Amino acid sequence: MSTAASPRIRSLALVTGATSGIGRAVAENLAHAGVNLVINAWSARDLEACAERWRACGIEVHPVAADLSEARAVEHLWASTVALAESRDFRFDILVNNAGFGAFGPDASIDEDVLVRMLRLNAEALMRLTHRAARRFTETGTPSAPARILNIASTAAFQSIPYFAHYAATKAFVLSYSEAIAAELDASARGRVTLTTCAPGPVRTGFGVAAGLREDSPFDRQAMDAGGVAKEALRAMRAGERLVVCGGLNRFGAVLTQLAPRRLATRIAGALLSKMK
């Protein structure tokens, strides 16, 4: 699918977590391809700064500040996007679920409210938006111009990770859920809509420090560039691929993890994470 706008079809994408990291890089790539945007994050100030930058590409950018860990915020974001598409005669045909966060440390050391918010944002909000998009896109997409859903998971999804248990569990949900829905769509939508899951490893986004890791941890030193991940994710999305693991080393690690005994994989992951605090 070409994501460039045309006089006949003015494409609209909804991107969550769009002001930093992978989400920002994906949104910027779409903007340069001529795709109009609805961008979401919790900071209205950061959203407006991004919107001003991307409007220079000649597109419309509509910021919606909302905390998607709240169900009402998800409803508001979705309703706003659909209303915009209908009022401006846009073809709302791309959803990018990127919003999420993590917290490093032993389970007992992390506040329960933080864990519940993580679950709601990383998993529930993604599920709600994917569910709505799959239904809408099945009706509006066509085999010649299919609609696309891109869900951002993580290589953390491939194994249990002590000291990173909750984040890894939410990303395991994203991977399992997204691959299953992709299979359903392949069978029922008949080429009108595809769902791609992107599983990056560590990415230089400030995620590690925000999650509680020290600044000089191997997490950021070994991380990929967000722009490179975004380009690989969008390539896979346009090709209709179900899963893309970014980076050759990460692909090797994902395969190795699935071949290893689960207890061993968990032990190794925990040993590595415990050294990053």
162-212: pLDDT as tens digits: 999 999 999 999 999 999 999 999 999 999 999 999 999 888 665 554 544
Yes or no: say if 179 and 243 are a contact pair by the CB < 8 Å rule: yes
Yes or no: say if 54 and 134 are a contact pair by the CB < 8 Å rule: no
Residue ranges with strand state E in 36-190: 36-41, 61-65, 91-97, 147-152
Measured at the CA of 14, the angle between CA 8 and CA 18, to 5 degrees, comes to 130
Yes or no: say if 158 and 264 are a contact pair by the CB < 8 Å rule: no
Gap between the Cα atoms of 246 and 233, Å rounded: 8
Lowest mean pLDDT among 81-85, 148-152, 178-182, 214-218: 214-218
Q: What is the mean pLDDT of residues 3-32?
A: 85
User: Distances from the Cα of 95 to the Cαs of 12, 220, 226, 266, in angstroms?
Assistant: 9, 28, 18, 32
If pLDDT is split at 50, 70 and 90, which confidence band does 275 have? low
Give the phi and the psi of residue 182 in degrees, each rounded to 5. -60, -40
Q: Is the pLDDT of residue 3 over 60?
A: no
For the stretch 199-221, what's the b/e string if a residue is b when 16 or more beta carbons lie within 10 angstroms of its beta carbon? bbbbbbbebbeebbbeeebebbe
Q: How many CB atoms lie within 10 A of CB 16?
A: 26
Predicted confidence at residue 189, as pLDDT, reads 93
Q: At what angle do helices 21-32 and 226-239 cross, to 10 degrees?
A: 60
Q: What is the mean pLDDT of residues 95-105?
A: 96
Q: What is the mean pLDDT of residues 74-96?
A: 98
Predicted confidence at residue 112, as pLDDT, reads 97
Instruction: Tell me if the pTM is above 0.95.
Output: no
Gap between the Cα atoms of 97 and 105, Å rounded: 25
Yes or no: say if 50 and 63 are a contact pair by the CB < 8 Å rule: yes
Q: Is the pLDDT of residue 141 over 60?
A: yes
- Strand-pairing partners, residue 91, are 11
Q: At what angle do helices 126-140 and 165-188 cross, to 10 degrees?
A: 10
Q: How many CA atoms lie within 13 A of 67 on its CB side?
A: 7
Q: Is the pLDDT of residue 231 over 90?
A: yes
Q: Is the pLDDT of residue 36 over 60?
A: yes
Measured at the CA of 145, the angle between CA 142 and CA 147, to 5 degrees, comes to 80
Gap between the Cα atoms of 80 and 86, Å rounded: 10
Predicted confidence at residue 1, as pLDDT, reads 42
CATH label, 11-274, candidates 3.40.50.300, 3.30.460.10, 3.40.605.10, 3.40.50.720: 3.40.50.720
